[in-house]
Amino acid sequence: MFPRWHIILGLAFTLVIFYFSPGISLLFLSLLFLSSFLIDFDHYVASGLKTGKWSLKSSFEYHRIKGIEEMKEIARGIKKKSDFHLFHTIEFHIIVGLLSFFWIGFFYIFIGMVFHSLLDILYMLNLGALHRREFLFFNWIRKR
Ligand SMILES: [Zn+2]
């Protein structure tokens, strides 16, 4: 899903949370909102490592071209994994979830990440692209 949609839907989600729990501090609401799209930072790292180019523009271009290639492969029935995205793994979600026992701010980051990941999953399901994501860090390590 495009970052702009994550930002828009993340903001909407944060406002809904604020509506139902207006007592939540601005810091925690900000963490919730920011984590709902900054989790995609791993996409930027992945493109930087692949291409050696670290501008945001080239990262967007990389993912635009990659998106077209992926759609072509899916249409041909080719089932390949996409780049590995660490922040999108179940293990990373669990670690952030566990950290919320030490500082409640991590709980809001965790909620933002889960919201983001659910949107990603719905988006991939809709495109028939769910197989492309490696959800488990340990699977990725094992296959290397
Ligand atoms: Zn994502």
HEC string for 14-56: HHHHHHHCCCCCHHHHHHHHHHHHHCCHHHHHHHHHHHCCCCH
DSSP state of 86: G
How far is ligand 1, taken at its centre, from the CA of residue 120, in Å? 6
Mean pLDDT per 10-residue run, the chain (144 residues)? Answer: 94 98 97 97 96 96 94 92 94 98 98 97 92 88 86
Q: Return the pLDDT at 1.
A: 81
With beta carbons less than 8 A apart as the criterion, state whether 1 and 123 touch.
Answer: yes
Is the whole model's pTM more than 0.85, yes or no?
A: yes
Q: Which amino acid is at 130?
A: L
d(CA 36, CA 29): 11
Q: How far is CA 45 from CA 6, 7, 59, 67, 105, in A?
A: 18, 19, 9, 16, 24
How far is ligand 1, taken at its centre, from the CA of residue 121, in Å? 9
How far is ligand 1, taken at its centre, from the CA of residue 95, in Å? 17
Q: Return the pLDDT at 88.
A: 96
The boundaries of the domain holding residue 75 are 3-143
How far is ligand 1, taken at its centre, from the CA of residue 117, in Å? 6
Q: How far is CA 127 from CA 7, 42, 72, 79, 83, in A?
A: 20, 21, 12, 13, 17
How far is ligand 1, taken at its centre, from the CA of residue 107, in Å? 18
Q: Return the pLDDT at 14.
A: 98
How far is ligand 1, taken at its centre, from the CA of residue 51, in Å? 20
Q: Return the pLDDT at 138.
A: 86
Q: Return the pLDDT at 2.
A: 86
d(CA 93, CA 80): 24
How far is ligand 1, taken at its centre, from the CA of residue 36, in Å? 9
Report how many domains make up the chain. Answer: 1
How far is ligand 1, taken at its centre, from the CA of residue 105, in Å? 21
